[in-house]
Amino acid sequence: MDMERWLIVLRQKLVDARKSRDSRSLEELSMVFTLLEEIAIEERCHLDFIEVIIDLGYAARDQSIKTEWANIIPSEEKIKEAMKL
């Protein structure tokens, strides 16, 4: 499975966890996105790719800490666009 597909699968898990208000899954996803962000920065990946990972991470963190405002989850199209760069 390639990185694009992995991110889309993780995105769907995030959508499902937010709908079901699954705090544990949201915390776990937040950790995954934090690790991916660190790796992407170390590897000097394209900025659009890093921004998608950051947005996914914020979306997971916002919901897991129950903020009134939750970050918008990037669309599958945005993920695909970021992966093409």
Give DSSP secondary structure letters for 7-72: HHHHHHHHHHHHHHT-HHHHHHHHHHHHHHHHHHHHTT--HHHHHHHHHHHHHHHHHHTT-SS-PP
> What's residue 70's pLDDT?
65
Per-residue pLDDT in tens (0 to 9) along the chain, 85 residues: 588 899 999 999 999 998 998 989 999 999 999 999 999 999 998 899 999 999 999 999 887 777 666 678 999 999 999 888 6
* Structural domain for 72, as ranges: 3-84
- Total domain count for the chain? 1
- Calpha distance 23→65 (Å, rounded): 8
Predicted TM-score (pTM) of this structure:
0.87
Distance of CA 10 to the CA centre of its chain: 7
The alpha carbons of the chain give a radius of gyration, in whole angstroms, of 12
